[in-house]
Structures are given as structure tokens and as C-alpha cells.
């Protein structure tokens, strides 16, 4: 089995973790493509990433080209002229009459909002191979072939019930790991609808809009209308974040250094020491 293709993205803040993750993906899935969205890497960091096996760099300029899917020039004009986005009643007006948010604004203001765009671009230049998205602060530490088994189109990782209590109404899914198995045209439809949900309901207001919007789509009426089948996977196995408490490589297959954990150099060195017996 050649395995799935992978997609990730990040800026200089995530470079160290992304480099580790890409090398590990290459070790476990040597025939898989790895699409990497460059949304703020330095020239040197980009060169180092580009030298790694199986990497396909996606430039931010290429990502910006996707604005044609969402850009509404009239809305952009009114926002710029009146700065209406600051007022709740005005945002309602804009969402009612000009439902597509101006991508040029979002793409600069919130790195997190670029996520669906990076995945969309990866799908557009990929074959029909299943695609696994991994946040820039995740590390694959074991094979995950079982994620591709079963009859489903979209796979998501679900937080533990304990963690869900602290994540609000739309916090069941963590959007750090997503599996897309359906045909590419259906992947695109799902991803564009996800992004539209983000832009219409949240605009520039919520930094985790992509996660809330994904939860609303998965657990709303969206999938009933599209006939997409989704499957839940255990986040403790495929999206494990309590890394500082230790982990079991056989049980925690994807580590997620979210909430700033990726900045903890001591923790990263500890992870590298525990995971790898050979030099990266």
C-alpha cells in the first residue's frame, strides 16, 4: 500500500515542527506526496523544506488565486468605504446582501483561515488519492493506514468528552487532522462550503472560525443534503495534545502541539528523543 497523500501548512513559527513531521511522513509513507503551504517561511526555511523528499510547495500567491471562488467586489467596496464590519447591524446587512467575504482581507489577518484554501489548492493539483490534512504543529509518529478503511468520505478527529466540556458548543471536532477520501470534485465542494460557512458567519471575528464552522457543517444538516458520509476517529489516538504528560507511540499516533506547545523547545527535544532512535 502506497498510502495517502498529506497536506500541511505554516509560517516560520511552525517551521521546526513541520520539518520533523515531513521527515517522519517520508519515513512511514515513502511514496506519498506532501503538499506544504508556505504562508510565511523564510527563504532559508523554504529551501530546507523543498529539499525534503516528496514535498510539493504551495506558494501563498497560488493560494490567493483561489479568491475567485469567494471574492465579492461589491462587498469589499462597501467594507472599505464604510468600515461596516465593526458594527453588528452592518455585518448582518453585508452577510444578507453580499454573502461572500473578501478573501484578500481574511488571508492576511488570520493564518488559520488559510487552512481550507491550502487543502483546496492541494486537491486541485493532486490525483484521486485520499488526502490527510495535518496542522503545522502536528507530528505523525506511527502508521495510520486504518484511517483509510471503511466506507466514508470525510473523516474527523473527536475530542474526549472531558475536553469537549471546555471547548464550547462547537468544540467536538478538532480540525487539526482531517481525512478526505471522496472524489476530488466532492472534496472541493465540501471544502468550499466549509470556507463559505466560515466567511459568512464569522468573517474576521473568531480566530477558530474554521473549527466552529467545521463542527456546524458535520453535525448540522449539510451532510444530509450532499450525501457525504463522515466518520469520527478518536482524537486521543490521531490528534493527541497532552504531550507534556507523555505519550504511548502505539496508542497516540499523531501528536498535536497546539495551544503554543510547539514553542516549547524542551518539550520538542523530549519528543524527538522519545520518538526517534536515529538522527532526523
Give me the pLDDT at residue 151, please: 93
CA 123 and chain centroid, separation: 13
Cα distances (angstroms) measured from residue 28 to each of 84, 140, 158, 203, 267? 50, 9, 24, 38, 23
pLDDT band at 1 (very low <50, low <70, confident <90, very high): very low
CATH of 5-67+105-275, one of 3.90.550.10, 3.20.20.100, 3.50.50.60, 3.40.50.300: 3.90.550.10
Q: ∠ CA 234-237-240 to the nearest 5 degrees? A: 105
Secondary element (H or E) of residue 43: helix 43-51
For the record, the C-alpha cell of 265 comes out as 523547545
Give me the pLDDT at residue 68, please: 58
Digit-coded pLDDT (tens) for 113-155: 678 889 999 999 999 999 999 999 999 999 999 999 999 999 9
CB 148 within 8 A of CB 21: no
Domain limits, the chain: 5-67+105-275
Give me the pLDDT at residue 140, please: 96
Q: What are phi and psi of 17, to 5 degrees?
A: -70, -40
Q: How far apart are CA 72 and CA 214, in angstroms?
A: 22
More confident residue, 71 or 191: 191
Give me the pLDDT at residue 268, please: 87
Burial of 184 (0-12, 13-18, 19+ CB in 10 A): middle
Digit-coded pLDDT (tens) for 251-272: 999 999 998 888 888 888 888 8
| Average pLDDT of the residues in 159-187 | 87
Cβ partners under 8 Å of residue 26, min gap 6: 32, 34, 52, 53, 54
Whether pLDDT at 210 is above 90: no
Q: How far apart are CA 171 and CA 271, in angstroms?
A: 27
Give me the pLDDT at residue 278, please: 46
Q: What is the mean pLDDT of the chain?
A: 82
Cβ partners under 8 Å of residue 243, min gap 6: 255, 256, 257, 261, 267, 271
| Average pLDDT of the residues in 216-235 | 86
Whether pLDDT at 99 is above 70: no
How many CB atoms lie under 10 A from the CB of residue 115?
28
Digit-coded pLDDT (tens) for 34-45: 999 998 899 999
pLDDT band at 197 (very low <50, low <70, confident <90, very high): confident
Digit-coded pLDDT (tens) for 6-24: 999 999 999 999 999 999 9
Amino acid at each position: 500500500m502506497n498510502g495517502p497523500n498529506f497536506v500541511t501548512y505554516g509560517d516560520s513559527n511552525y517551521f521546526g515542527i513541520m520539518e520533523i513531521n515531513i521527515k517522519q511522513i517520508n519515513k512511514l509513507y515513502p511514496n506519498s506526496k506532501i503538499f506544504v503551504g508556505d504562508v510565511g517561511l523564510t527563504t532559508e526555511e523554504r529551501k530546507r523544506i523543498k529539499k525534503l523528499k516528496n514535498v510539493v510547495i504551495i506558494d501563498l500567491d497560488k493560494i490567493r488565486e483561489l479568491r475567485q471562488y469567494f471574492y465579492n467586489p461589491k462587498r469589499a467596496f462597501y467594507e472599505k468605504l464604510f468600515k461596516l464590519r465593526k458594527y453588528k447591524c452592518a455585518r448582518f446587512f453585508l452577510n444578507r446582501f453580499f454573502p461572500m467575504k473578501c478573501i484578500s482581507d481574511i488571508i492576511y489577518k488570520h493564518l488559520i483561515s488559510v487552512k481550507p484554501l491550502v487543502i483546496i489548492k492541494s486537491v486541485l493539483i493532486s490525483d484521486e488519492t485520499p488526502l490527510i490534512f495535518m496542522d503545522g504543529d502536528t507530528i505523525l509518529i506511527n502508521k495510520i493506514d486504518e484511517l483509510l478503511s471503511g466506507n466514508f468520505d470525510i473523516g474527523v478527529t473527536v475530542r474526549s468528552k472531558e475536553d469537549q466540556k471546555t471547548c464550547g458548543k462547537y468544540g467536538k471536532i478538532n480540525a487539526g487532522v482531517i481525512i478526505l477520501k471522496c472524489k476530488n470534485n466532492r472534496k472541493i465542494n465540501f471544502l468550499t462550503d466549509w470556507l463559505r460557512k466560515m466567511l459568512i458567519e464569522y468573517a474576521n471575528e473568531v480566530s477558530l472560525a474554521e473549527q466552529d464552522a467545521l463542527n456546524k457543517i458535520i453535525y448540522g444538516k449539510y451532510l444530509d443534503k450532499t450525501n457525504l458520509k463522515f466518520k469520527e476517529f478518536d482524537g486521543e489516538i490521531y490528534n493527541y495534545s497532552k504531550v507534556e504528560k507523555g505519550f504511548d507511540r502505539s496508542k497516540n499516533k499523531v501528536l498535536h502541539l497546539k495551544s503554543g506547545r510547539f514553542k516549547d523547545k524542551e518539550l520538542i527535544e523530549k519528543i524527538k528523543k522519545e520518538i526517534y532512535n536515529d538522527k532526523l
